[in-house]
Structure 1
Amino acid sequence: MNHLILVPILLPFLTALLIMLPPIHYSAQRRRWLSMISTALLLVVSVVLLLTIKQQGLTFYALGNWQPPFGIIMVADLVSCIMLCLTAFLALGAISYGSAGEDEKGSFFHPLFQFQLMGINGAFLTGDLFNLFVFFEVLLIASYALLIHAGGKNKTRATVHYVILNLTGSAVFLLALAILYGTLGTLNIADMALKVTQLPDDNLMLVKAGALMLLIVFALKAAILPLQFWLPATYASASAPVAALFAVMTKIGVYALLRVFTTIFGEQAGPLQGLANSWLWPFGLATMLLGAIGVLASQDFRKLVANLVLVSVGSLVVLVAVQNTAAHAAVLYYTVHSTLICGALFLLADLIATQRGKAQDRLVAARRVNQPVLLGTLFVLCAISVAGLPPLSGFIGKVMLLQAAFGANGQYWLWAILLLSSLLVLIGLSRAGSTLFWRVSGMQKAEERVQPLQLFAVLWLLSASLLLMVFAGPLTELSFAAARQLADVLGTIQSILPGSGVLP
């Protein structure tokens, strides 16, 4: 067994424990350095794991040597490894920004941050639905505390809404798991994919009900319309490094949709094949359009960025519904691009707000920022990338999205709404930029400057767009390889359950 699979889960867990122990706990600098070094090491481990899986193929780790489908397993394939690398890359930027001073505005920032990384990585690596629920709860508990970090009325109100909705989602998740376990006798994803092909007609409606309940839960996590209303206020109220890390949270819901409704309820599922597609397609388009309108209507920069997250979620969910290799490859590439650029924008919004005095990030006339050239340049680069203009990665991602929809039912709806939403995003960002940097009133204050760690964090995340453009060839090939591996359900079953035989 490849023990490296457990490292992305164990490393942040052990780091969180060490940070809470003396003498590290009593020194802010020690906490910061340990957290940043651990996160950088996590990125290295994730990349090594990705290269290993690319060479050797899908592999799993059976805890306690209890072989599937009876034991707990962690599964590493190209899709999960890409998501691990994305999370680690994003987390390094967020933790670096937080270490510039944001971490000292509340208690236990670094341990909570590491526990959330543990939950996110576990959700990507788990091979059964019950442990997906467990890791969801781990990351959500950490996110509750991180969201209210540094306190404040707006944070408290947003946290209450966030907690209530996610507790409701957890209850529905458990009920769905109970229904599926009662009918299929397993929650191992590979075993479920096998059992669905042998499902008696008497249990067909029960399994369909359980699957649709999972769809509701994952739609809530991904913030798909009409379950998206919690996201703008929640993300806008969070502190900058927390909001940046939260940029990947909705992608966990998209990942769960992709994993469950491709592997379990994919082409081999017979009558249950594609049962989520008729829901994901229209609601994905609506989410994309609603997010774009939200960008245009936003009265402050943080909410504008939060609505950009909705636009990206809608774009991804529509492609999940297409259910072909090109669509899934586009989902993976665009997930990496949109998550990192939105993370950079959340950090940039905080830097701009800090230098605008009482107006903060509200899109109104305010005093001039102290570093207009630096912040303006960063804003323009982020805006070009997130709007999908050439030559940065957003353009490549949008082209992949358009190409993946070619020949699909309703392709012209997708093309029209995707291009319209891109236009609205471009107008909204142009309006925001002109207001933030050109509508000036009052004097600037010289003492407010961007700190080195903060600048590094924004440049680190923004560099992803350049890297995705420069290495577009090998990275798109990797995305297609991951999509093909995801679609090879028979190969997955044979790798995890070698004695199960072949599918009919």
Structure 2
Amino acid sequence: MQHLSIFPILIPLLCGALMLLPPFSKTLQRQRILSVIGTFALLISSAFLLHQVMMKGVHLYALGDWQPPFGIALVADPVSTLLVTLASFLGFAVMLYALNDHDKGGAYFHPLFMFQLMGINGAFLTGDIFNLFVFFEVLLIASYALLVHGGGKPRTQSALHYVILNLVGSSLFLFGLGIIYGTLGTLNMADLAVKVGSLQGENATLAKTGAALLLVVFGLKAAMLPMHFWLPRTYASATAPVAALFAIMTKVGIYSIFRVYVVIFGDHAGELANIATPWLWPLALLTITIGTIGVIASPGLKTLTANLVIVSSGSLLVCAAIHSAAATSAALYYLVHSTIASSALFLLADVIARQRGQAEDRFVRSRPFMQPKMIGFAFAICALAMIGMPPLSGFIGKIMILQSAHTTAESAWVWPLILVSSLAALVAFSRGGTTMFWRHNGNSNNDVNTAKPLEIIAIGLLLVALPLMVVFGGDITDYTQNAANYLHDFNASAYDLLPGVTS
């Protein structure tokens, strides 16, 4: 299975391309069947790739057999395969939810969905910064169209802001790549990591400029303050399946920060060692702060979830700022948890909005739910997970982040903000939950659309994963620690990926 590393990119690419051709382009039903088959095959292949990396180690896939640093390289390592499996699982669950007529707002929902997964998986697997840019553009182009899926003025306005900001980000990305390539003569991540330590003087200054531009771009993708303001409105206005899939979009930016500023500009990088850390510390803490304020001020469940995504991004950026293997391990665990929990909450918010009539997901009085027990149970699980209370995975993730803050200064900043953000989430969910479940006007509407079996299955798949992350917490944390150790091991993450080059 030497070609297994390219399957997470190839499967959604082929499925998306086939949907644009007859006979799949003729009927929605055929596209649905192919989407379910494609996302399930993607999940199986990603899980198998993860298992292969666990058993046999890192796999370097050189397209066309052009060896690094000259060819296009895909790197299936413990970090990238974990995130690819997460994206594939998320894609399969969200696709099941979308099959209940959420895909009827546009003719190209299914191919765009597959191209989005292709871009996300490609960004996680690539071993080259230029191809990271390419996959960024693939997932962004698909996200532009998915964002306006279903039409409407709010979605169009949000899409316009989103497109403009990301076009600016893409331009800065190219400028940063040009500066780094002009300075070091390569864009292969492993090769950059080997060469960057020898830079001095003006060349080092130029490389710092390129690295700073990349941090701005990745910060935009990760919703890092002050580039976070696009996220709440964009996510809240998107359709439920799109918002749920977008839950992993900020994680692509977070992953890029870890990959670039640990592997390339890490402790070994000479004059450029840890150049992002002085910027990440204040920006990460401020991101948590502004996200917490947004959580308290959120008028509805979708906006609350979007602001919690910002809080989770800030928490992950704190781990990047701590810059240790323990913090990276905590970040990987918490990243998986927060992505699944926020995705489930976006889907649940859609079910809630449909059953509350004109009140939708806003925290105001409305008619009762048609399925109060099912919705109440799912809401409680999502709330406990997002707050970070036991016995769910959010508690373990936040404990790991707090424990990774070793020094007194780190603890003095990290502990209060993480705990206050959890308290704010508790207050927001308590306020919203009591209003939606206990304060009613009138009677329930029998004509309202109740949650259909596929929607319940999709939300259930995501919710079941949260307690399973606790049940298998020991194995998962062992894996994340090994993945973090690999990322911080310069010889493994750099020299071992360059055939013929020795340390």
Written as runs of structure 1 = structure 2, the 5 A alignment for 1:293-304 is: 293-304=293-304
Q: What is the CA–CA distance in structure 2 between the aligned matches of 1:409 and 1:324, rounded to whole Å?
A: 15
Provide the aligned C-alpha RMSD in A: 1.1
Q: What is the CA–CA distance in structure 1 between the aligned matches of 2:2 and 2:273, rounded to whole Å?
A: 33
Q: What is the CA–CA distance in structure 2 between the aligned matches of 1:454 and 1:407, rounded to whole Å?
A: 46
Residue equivalent to 1:380: 380
Written as runs of structure 1 = structure 2, the 5 A alignment for 1:319-330 is: 319-330=319-330
TM-score (norm 2): 0.98
1:309 matched to 2:309? The reply is yes
TM-score (norm 1): 0.98
Residue equivalent to 2:462: 461
Q: Tell me, what secondary structure is at the counterpart of 1:267?
A: coil
Q: What is the CA–CA distance in structure 2 between the aligned matches of 1:157 and 1:331, rounded to whole Å?
A: 33
Q: What is the CA–CA distance in structure 1 between the aligned matches of 2:111 and 2:39, rounded to whole Å?
A: 12
Q: Is the 8 A contact 1:16 1:110 kept in 2?
A: yes
Residue equivalent to 1:494: 495
Q: What is the CA–CA distance in structure 2 between the aligned matches of 1:391 and 1:33, rounded to whole Å?
A: 37
Matched to 1:108, the amino acid is Y
Matched to 1:452, the amino acid is P
Matched to 1:299, the amino acid is P
Residue equivalent to 1:120: 120
C-alpha displacement of 1:27: 2.7
Q: What is the CA–CA distance in structure 2 between the aligned matches of 1:372 and 1:166, rounded to whole Å?
A: 40
Residues 233-277 of structure 1: CA deviation (Å, up to 9, x unaligned): 000000000000000000000000000000000010012111111
Residue equivalent to 1:64: 64
Q: Is the 8 A contact 2:96 2:458 kept in 1?
A: yes
C-alpha displacement of 1:411: 1.7
Written as runs of structure 1 = structure 2, the 5 A alignment for 1:247-396 is: 247-396=247-396
Q: Is the 8 A contact 2:319 2:327 kept in 1?
A: yes
Residues 437-457 of structure 1: CA deviation (Å, up to 9, x unaligned): 112112211132110011011
Residue equivalent to 1:51: 51
C-alpha displacement of 1:488: 1.1
Residue equivalent to 1:483: 484
Q: What is the CA–CA distance in structure 1 between the aligned matches of 2:393 and 2:356, rounded to whole Å?
A: 30
Q: Is the 8 A contact 2:93 2:461 kept in 1?
A: yes
C-alpha displacement of 1:498: 3.0
Q: Is the 8 A contact 2:198 2:270 kept in 1?
A: no
Q: Is the 8 A contact 2:63 2:71 kept in 1?
A: yes
Matched to 1:465, the amino acid is L
Q: Tell me, what secondary structure is at the counterpart of 1:75?
A: strand
Q: Is the 8 A contact 2:59 2:77 kept in 1?
A: yes
C-alpha displacement of 1:278: 1.0
Written as runs of structure 1 = structure 2, the 5 A alignment for 1:43-442 is: 43-407=43-407, 409-442=409-442
Q: Is the 8 A contact 1:2 1:60 kept in 2?
A: no
Residues 108-153 of structure 1: CA deviation (Å, up to 9, x unaligned): 1110000000000000011110000000000000000000000000
Matched to 1:360, the amino acid is E
Q: Percent identity?
A: 53
Matched to 2:74, the amino acid is M
Q: Tell me, what secondary structure is at the counterpart of 2:343?
A: helix
Matched to 1:473, the amino acid is G
C-alpha displacement of 1:290: 1.3
Residues 149-199 of structure 1: CA deviation (Å, up to 9, x unaligned): 000000000000000000000000000000000000000000000110121
C-alpha displacement of 1:21: 2.3
Matched to 1:332, the amino acid is L
Residue equivalent to 1:473: 474
Residues 91-124 of structure 1: CA deviation (Å, up to 9, x unaligned): 1111111111100122211100000000000000
1:8 matched to 2:8? The reply is yes
Residues 334-358 of structure 1: CA deviation (Å, up to 9, x unaligned): 0000000000000000000000001
Q: What is the CA–CA distance in structure 1 between the aligned matches of 2:352 and 2:494, rounded to whole Å?
A: 50
Q: Is the 8 A contact 1:235 1:243 kept in 2?
A: yes
Q: Tell me, what secondary structure is at the counterpart of 1:293?
A: helix
Q: Is the 8 A contact 1:59 1:77 kept in 2?
A: yes
Residues 314-365 of structure 1: CA deviation (Å, up to 9, x unaligned): 0000011111111000000000000000000000000000000011111111
Residue equivalent to 1:450: 451
C-alpha displacement of 1:408: 6.3
After superposition, the Cα gap between the structure-2 partners of 1:408 and 1:316, relative to the gap in structure 1 and judged at 3 Å, is farther
Q: Is the 8 A contact 2:200 2:271 kept in 1?
A: no
Q: What is the CA–CA distance in structure 1 between the aligned matches of 2:432 and 2:101, rounded to whole Å?
A: 27
Q: What is the CA–CA distance in structure 1 between the aligned matches of 2:430 and 2:37, rounded to whole Å?
A: 37
Q: What is the CA–CA distance in structure 1 between the aligned matches of 2:39 and 2:353, rounded to whole Å?
A: 27
Q: Is the 8 A contact 2:365 2:436 kept in 1?
A: yes
- Unaligned 5+ segments in structure 2 are none
Q: Tell me, what secondary structure is at the counterpart of 2:419?
A: helix
Matched to 1:308, the amino acid is L
Matched to 1:484, the amino acid is N
Q: What is the CA–CA distance in structure 2 between the aligned matches of 1:416 and 1:429, rounded to whole Å?
A: 20
C-alpha displacement of 1:369: 1.4
Q: Is the 8 A contact 2:263 2:494 kept in 1?
A: no
Q: Tell me, what secondary structure is at the counterpart of 1:378?
A: helix
Q: What is the CA–CA distance in structure 1 between the aligned matches of 2:480 and 2:146, rounded to whole Å?
A: 32
For these two proteins, the number of residue pairs brought into alignment is 502
Q: Tell me, what secondary structure is at the counterpart of 1:61?
A: strand
Q: Is the 8 A contact 1:59 1:495 kept in 2?
A: no
Residues 282-325 of structure 1: CA deviation (Å, up to 9, x unaligned): 11111112112211111111101000100100000001111111
Q: What is the CA–CA distance in structure 1 between the aligned matches of 2:84 and 2:499, rounded to whole Å?
A: 26
